[in-house]
Chain A
């Protein structure tokens, strides 16, 4: 656990870090980024929390087996969406033209709207869930092991 200044600034900045990560995941089909990048940004926010508050305090609320469940559910959603297009071909984009995320933008450069791209937003959310949970679990487990080693010495 670090000083009070660091803790206050971390608890202010964590909101922006997490919201920015979720924004990159959610707008993956419109702007640069996507599930992997947004998940990495979100996990860097978790890293900020771990550095500022200490891994023991974070571990009271954020357990690694909960993160493992989140990661596995992200992987299952991803594969399930891939199997959803199996009527035509594996990974077929079966939601284009349907009422859910089905708008087709005009061709050429345009800002677009968020209600487009079929299964790609859902896949972004699934992969983002998977990456943020996986990287947060890695960070948390490694930080816990480091504190245990310091106690032993």
Chain B
């Protein structure tokens, strides 16, 4: 019963993947105004030649803050876990 359920759900998932692969938009269409804006104005607004870094640290700074928070939480968890283990074994 469980194997049948897994098989059905997996086949539905793969059918969705294949359908999406055929229905996906072609590259660069529909044209977006945001990337043209960033390519035009990165150097004058942020002064950075690297547009990717300008997006990561300036236009989308909140995303980078979230990434930094995720890394901080991961490091805190790992250090806490292994430090507790070390003390108990002593």
Whether chains A and B associate is yes
What residues make up the interface of A, taking CB atoms closer than 8 Å to B?
Answer: 28-32, 34, 36, 64, 68, 71-72, 75, 78-79, 82, 90-91, 93, 96, 101-108, 110-112, 116-120, 123-124, 127, 130-131, 134-135, 137-138, 141-142, 144-145, 148, 152
B 25-44 contacts with A by CB, 8 A? 40, 43-44
Write out the residue numbers on chain A whose beta carbons fall within 8 Å of the beta carbon of B44. Answer: 104, 107
At the interface, yes or no: B3 with Cβ under 8 Å from chain A?
Answer: no
- Give the CA-CA distance A23 to B88 in the complex, in Å: 41
Taking residues whose C-beta sits less than 8 angstroms from the other chain, chain B's interface range is 20 to 34
Partner of B48, one of A64, A117, A141, A144: A117
Chain A nearest Cβ from B84, distance in angstroms = 10
Say whether A144 contacts B86, CB under 8 Å. Answer: yes
Main secondary structure of the interface of B (DSSP, over half): helix
- Contact A117 to B65, CB < 8 A, known contacts A124-B57, A141-B78: no
Contact B53 A112 (CB under 8 A): no
| B72 at the A interface (CB under 8 A) | yes
Residues of B near A36 (CB, < 8 A) are 67
A104 to B40, CA, bound (A): 14
A140 vs chain B, min Cβ distance (A): 9
Question: Can you sample 12 A-B contacts with CB below 8 Å?
Answer: A29-B50, A36-B67, A72-B72, A117-B48, A117-B53, A118-B46, A134-B71, A141-B78, A142-B78, A144-B86, A148-B85, A152-B89
Inter-subunit contact B79/A68 (CB<8 Å) = yes
Contact between B71 and A93, CB atoms less than 8 A apart:
no
Say whether B75 contacts A118, CB under 8 Å: no
